[in-house]
């Protein structure tokens, strides 16, 4: 293979996760990123994170719609090949980075303000789980949910990527956690992620939560759909329901009299829209998460792993609701 060529996976049409991907050979990217034109950290990718947005991208259903064909993959872990002057990382460093696109490839480029040293205690697969989900979880819990130590958090989709990250970050912020999951296998994953209690989405979860906690302070909701009203009913006075996503398929609507009657709030948490233009916000979040990694509360749970050429299987795992923890591509297995 030519030294300036790399293996990558592209989305070539919008026919869905099973058929829209192609393994291709492409020229390696220049050290330039769309958020920092003319500048960027070039990374030899060892592991690529796979997430719900890539599934949506294969259907043209995600807000970011690059022209076809394009290389998806928003986050990676690997080794820095080159970094711009003034960056906090340099050649040879192990890093976790958010590249927005281009992560399903042997070489990727990320802005310096979204590239962070990877703790020696975490492997590359865990590093590929650290940016999107953990930065979102911290944003949703701390900034948007205003979570305080001693409060109680209910986490939906708790065995998933956002779910496991939210359970661990909530613990790191000193909260009690209750996980909502749909199966025994997912219950085990939620407990491994540190859930203090687990309830089942197909049972009387709202009543169990009320009985156990008297009402929760914060709900983290990446699922949406029918359970939204019961999430609102699960809040105690002053509680905050944080809207993170809609894996359940439908976007819920709220009768706002419920907010007035119980003095509660619904708040949105859109991490990318908020954080990608704010370098210092990302550095502060990475520093807070690094302290949680060091303390042992943040330890990403990696579920299914696939080689780069099986990226379609990785996306289908998420699409078919089979994912637990983080789905990862081993790019240089």
Ligand X SMILES: NC(=O)c1ccc[n+]([C@@H]2O[C@H](COP(=O)([O-])OP(=O)(O)OC[C@H]3O[C@@H](n4cnc5c(N)ncnc54)[C@H](OP(=O)(O)O)[C@@H]3O)[C@@H](O)[C@H]2O)c1
Look-up of token digits 């719609």: 65
Asked if 209 interacts with ligand X (CB under 6 A), we say no
Which residues are CB-contacts of 255 (< 8 A; sequence separation ≥ 6)? 229
Q: Which of 204, 215, 256 is nearest to 238 (CA)?
A: 215
d(CA 136, CA 157) in angstroms, rounded, equals 14
Q: Among residues 42, 128, 147, 181, which is the contact residue for ligand X, using CB under 6 A?
A: 181
How many residues bind ligand X (CB under 6 A)? The answer is 30
Asked if 17 interacts with ligand X (CB under 6 A), we say no
* Cβ nearer to ligand X, comparing 272 with 307: 272
Asked if 301 interacts with ligand X (CB under 6 A), we say no
Asked if 271 interacts with ligand X (CB under 6 A), we say yes
* Cβ nearer to ligand X, comparing 185 with 295: 185
Q: Is 35 helix (H, G, I), strand (E, B) or coil?
A: coil
Asked if 272 interacts with ligand X (CB under 6 A), we say yes
The pattern of x and - marking residues 222 through 241 that bind ligand X according to CB under 6 A reads: xx------------------
Indicate the helix (H) or strand (E) that contains 304.
Answer: strand 302-307
CB of 245 to ligand X, least distance (A): 3
Stretch that binds ligand X, among 82-90, 253-261, 268-276, 277-285 (CB under 6 A): 268-276
DSSP state of 26: E
If phi > 0 it is left, if psi is from -120 to 50 it is alpha, else beta; for residue 202 that is alpha
Q: Among residues 249, 260, 261, 280, which is the contact residue for ligand X, using CB under 6 A?
A: 249
If phi > 0 it is left, if psi is from -120 to 50 it is alpha, else beta; for residue 286 that is alpha
Q: Among residues 10, 36, 51, 57, which is the contact residue for ligand X, using CB under 6 A?
A: 51
* Cβ nearer to ligand X, comparing 201 with 213: 201
Q: Is 153 helix (H, G, I), strand (E, B) or coil?
A: strand
Which residues are CB-contacts of 284 (< 8 A; sequence separation ≥ 6)? none
In the complex, the residues that contact ligand X under the rule CB under 6 A are 51-53, 132, 136, 157, 159-163, 181-182, 186, 201, 222-223, 244-249, 269-272, 318, 321, 323
């Amino acid at each position: 293979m030519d030294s300036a060529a790399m293996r990558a996976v592209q989305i070539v049409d919008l026919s869905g996760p099973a058929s829209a991907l192609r393994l291709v050979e492409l020229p390696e990217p220049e050290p330039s990123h769309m958020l920092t034109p003319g500048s960027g950290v070039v990374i030899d990718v060892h592991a690529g994170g796979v997430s719900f947005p890539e599934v949506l991208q294969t259907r043209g259903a995600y807000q970011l719609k690059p022209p076809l064909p394009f290389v998806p993959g928003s986050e990676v872990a690997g080794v820095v090949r080159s970094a711009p002057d003034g960056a906090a990382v340099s050649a040879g460093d192990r890093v976790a980075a958010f590249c927005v696109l281009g992560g399903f490839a042997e070489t990727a480029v990320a802005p310096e303000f979204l590239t962070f040293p990877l703790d020696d205690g975490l492997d590359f697969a865990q590093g590929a789980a650290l940016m999107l989900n953990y930065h979102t979880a911290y944003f949703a819990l701390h900034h948007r949910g205003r979570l305080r130590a001693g409060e109680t958090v209910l986490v939906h989709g708790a065995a998933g990527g956002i779910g496991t990250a939210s359970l661990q970050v909530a613990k790191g912020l000193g909260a009690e956690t209750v996980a909502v999951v749909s199966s025994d296998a997912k219950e085990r994953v939620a407990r491994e992620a540190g859930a203090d209690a687990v309830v089942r989405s197909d049972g009387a979860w709202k009543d169990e939560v009320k009985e156990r906690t008297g009402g929760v302070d914060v709900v983290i909701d990446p699922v949406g759909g029918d359970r939204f009203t019961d999430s609102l009913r699960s809040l105690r006075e002053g509680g905050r329901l944080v809207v993170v996503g809609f894996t359940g398929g439908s976007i819920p609507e709220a009768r706002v009299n419920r907010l007035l009657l119980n003095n509660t709030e619904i708040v949105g948490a859109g991490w990318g829209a908020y954080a990608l233009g704010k370098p210092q916000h990302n550095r502060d979040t990475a520093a807070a998460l690094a302290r949680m990694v060091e303390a042992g509360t943040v330890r990403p749970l990696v579920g299914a792993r696939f080689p780069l050429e099986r990226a379609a299987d990785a996306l289908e795992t998420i699409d078919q609701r089979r994912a637990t923890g983080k789905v990862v591509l081993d790019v240089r297995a």
